[in-house]
Structure 1
Amino acid sequence: MAAPPLGKLSRQAFDALIAPHLGAARPGQVLVGPRHGVDVAILRTAPGQVMAVTADPLSLIPELGVEASAWLSAQLLASDVATSGLEPAFAVVDYNLPPQMDDETLARYQQALHRALADLGVAVAGGHTGRYPGCDYTIIGAGVMMATGPEDRWVCSATARPGDACVVTKGAAVAATGILARVFPETARRVLGDEGAREAAAVFGQFGVVKEARLAAALGVRGGGVSAMHDATEGGVLGAIAEMAEASGLGAVVEREAIPVSPVTRELCRAFFGMDPYTALGEGALVLAVDPARAAELQTRLGAAGIRAAIVGRFEAPEHGRWVVEPDGRKTLLAPPAADPYWAAYARARESGWR
């Protein structure tokens, strides 16, 4: 029997293995529970008040280094919870450390995580730390992050509306570009030249969508503003749009050519075995469903903050289906990819001895 694919579970696996077994029901308290393609849970904590909660692995990727890995872990957690439109506030950190990870490395990691969380305004409220056999890099534990706020101020990836404009920040394959250029610097220089390799490596600093999520929430949420947000992760930008449409029960139409792809990203993806940038690891890009009358205003606000944003399509009533308009005018099905091509490309490059 073939090994299960790496990365996030498919919707089919999630629905079969996880969704039927979720403990006690809490009707009226769990407003948004575990669902494929939804970044956050929304819990009613008191009349008129909610908490947004998310969880993600904590990683230490040796090739990236201790400090960069800790910063990345904080950004990924905060990005998910910020898609609620609420301010990230609290974190719980669970370290399940490899036995060979020494105290000095742990101290460096924790200090870097502390700095990143402090910059985000997030307090560590609790957690657990231990070393255990069977644990190894690159995953050294997990984190939970929370945000609180008024019940009429939250959104999620399941709250898009028919007619909303689909807006994407930054572009395709942000994470794939930044990580590959850092983990395989010699390959990046060979493919892109020195200047291009530096540009691609600098994309790593674009991880995280807290800044644009805050600006979007300031425009207004729900009626007349931003109705949904989703952090592009595994499956890339197209996967995130498909997940948002699916979670919201909507159709969608996306213009492939409208999705920004930087020249260094395109060249790097081509070199890494023809990896598709539109479905490759996309952390750093935020997908938004926005009132079409306010989409240009959102672009202007983001642009003033140095964040590129493109209107790439729109969400439709479900009977319209979900489609990608190709450059030649053909329509192809918009659906989450069976597997993110990044994982296979990364593994093949490592096996081939690329540096």
Structure 2
Amino acid sequence: MTIGKLTSSDLERLVLSQLERNRPETMNLPGIGDDVAYIDFGDNILVLSTDPITGATKNAGSIAVHVACNDIAAGGGEPLAIMLTLLAPPEVTEDQIKEVVHQAREAARELRVDIVGGHTEVTTAVTRIILSTTVIGRAIKVMRGPQLGDAIVMTKLIGLEGTAIIAHDMPEMTDYLTPAEMAQAAEMGRQLSVLEDSQVALKYDIHAMHDITEGGLIGALCEVVFHKDFGVEFDYEQLQIAPVTQKIADYYDIDPLQLISSGSMIISLPPQEADALVQDLERAGITAARIGRYVEDKGAIMIKDGQKIAVEPKKGDELYRVIP
């Protein structure tokens, strides 16, 4: 099978179609584009999410915490606690394990969440350190999904996480990128949290938030409309693509719109509120733009140079064409 997340159709056919609800407290079963589960305890609604880190190597501990907490934030929740599983190959050193845990601890401290448990194991089943993070949070608002006619606001930059990982992990980038570009890519790696984005957005009548992970922007947009009877249209000219991201994409001949972008999110809300949200995000120091809307015709359409171009996600994130 292709490396990376299962395609939406494969995930539906092989996994989701087999699952069923067995408890009344469970508010939602897993679905395409749904990254969190809501559990109703009466006075409080618990929100849960889990994520593995398989593509990054040098900053995996920090990325693991940020990415999993992002799902909680995008699901309208406040992350509280983390369970961290670490699987390492036999050649791992003690210092490597300590460094990963140190990175995770520092990220947890930054986000004000606690690492409360997990599992650590050395096994021949993996060839490099693999992390899987489960986050427990409290729901502030339950997301019900985008509505036809909603505007789409995107925060931060295209390919945010992928740019940081490639620049940091691939040795040839040291010679290809200038010192200033390497510094910019490193700074992008420090912008992987969407908690503040979510806090600003929750002041509005938002219908959905979705962090842009594997598959990039195109993957995220296609996921959120996979089971909808409508589609999505977005304007290429409104997208924020850093020059260093485009330079990396040109070097490896990859599409930045399909490059993992944890730290960025798409927010769906009534069109009359979109411009005010963009202004509030900008005031908070978060780059944002109104990039598109949900339309009657199914599928995903990109408007570029006045042309409407149908787009669809590739099998696997562009990162896996670069990282060995």
Normalised to the residue count of structure 1, the TM-score between the two structures is 0.84
Please state if 1:207 is matched with 2:197.
no
Where 1:246 maps in the other structure, the secondary structure is: coil
1:142 aligns with 2:137: no
1:239–1:299: structure 2 CA closer, same or farther, 3 Å change rule? same
Two-structure CA RMSD over aligned residues (Å): 2.1
Q: Residue 83 of structure 2 aligns with which residue?
A: 92
Residue 161 of structure 1 is aligned with which of 106, 125, 147? 147
Query: Is 1:16 matched up with 2:13?
Result: yes
**CA apart distance, 1:247:** 4.5
What residue identity is the alignment partner of 1:181?
A
- Aligned mates of 1:314, 1:146 — CA distance in 2: 31
The equivalent residue for 2:293 is 314
| Identity across the alignment (%) | 25
Matched, 1:54 2:49: yes
Cα deviation digits, residues 40-77 of structure 1 (max 9, x gap): 11222x22532111111255944x2xxx3211111111
Q: Residue 256 of structure 1 is aligned with which of 213, 216, 236?
A: 236
One-letter amino acid of the counterpart of residue 4, structure 2: G
Does 1:329 pair with 2:306? yes
Q: How much has 1:231 moved relative to structure 2?
A: 0.8
Contact 1:188/1:268 (8 A) holds in 2: no
Flag the 1:61–1:216 CA change in 2: closer, same or farther, 3 A: same
Relative to the length of structure 2, the TM-score reads 0.92
Relative to structure 1, the CA distance from residue 128 to residue 183 in structure 2 (aligned partners, 3 Å threshold; closer, same or farther) is closer
Matched residue of 1:312: which SS? strand
Runs of 4+ aligned residues of structure 1 deviating over 4 Å after TM superposition are 58-62
- Cα shift readout 1:281-337 (whole Å, capped 9, x = no counterpart): 222211110221221221122112211101011113xx4223423323222224333
CA distance in 2, matches of 1:74, 1:299: 27
Quote the offset at 1:124 in angstroms: 2.4
| Equivalent-residue separation in structure 1 for 2:299 and 2:44 (angstroms) | 34
Is the alpha carbon distance of 1:182 and 1:160 closer, same or farther for their aligned partners in structure 2, counting shifts above 3 Å?
same
For structure 2, the 5+ residue unaligned runs are none
- Is this contact kept in 2: 1:178–1:204, CA < 8 A? yes
Distance in 2, Cα, partners of 1:31 & 1:48: 14
The count of corresponding residues between Structure 1 and Structure 2 is 324
What is the DSSP-based 3-state SS (H/G/I as helix, E as strand, rest coil) of the residue aligned with 1:288?
A: strand
Aligned to 1:92, what secondary structure does the other structure show? Answer: strand
Deviates more, 1:4-13 or 1:113-122: 113-122
- Per the alignment, do residues 253 and 193 of structure 1 end up closer, same or farther by CA in structure 2, a change over 3 Å counting? same
Q: What is the distance in 1 between the residues matched to 2:233 and 2:43?
A: 35
CA contact (8 A) 1:52 1:81 kept: yes
Shift of 1:129: 2.5
Q: For 1:262, give the aligned amino acid.
A: A
Structure 1 residue 249: deviation in Å? 4.3
Distance 1:280 1:121, change over 3 A: same
Summarize the Cα distance change of 1:214–1:249 in structure 2 as closer, same or farther, 3 Å threshold: farther
Q: Distance in 2 between matches of 1:247 and 1:81?
A: 21
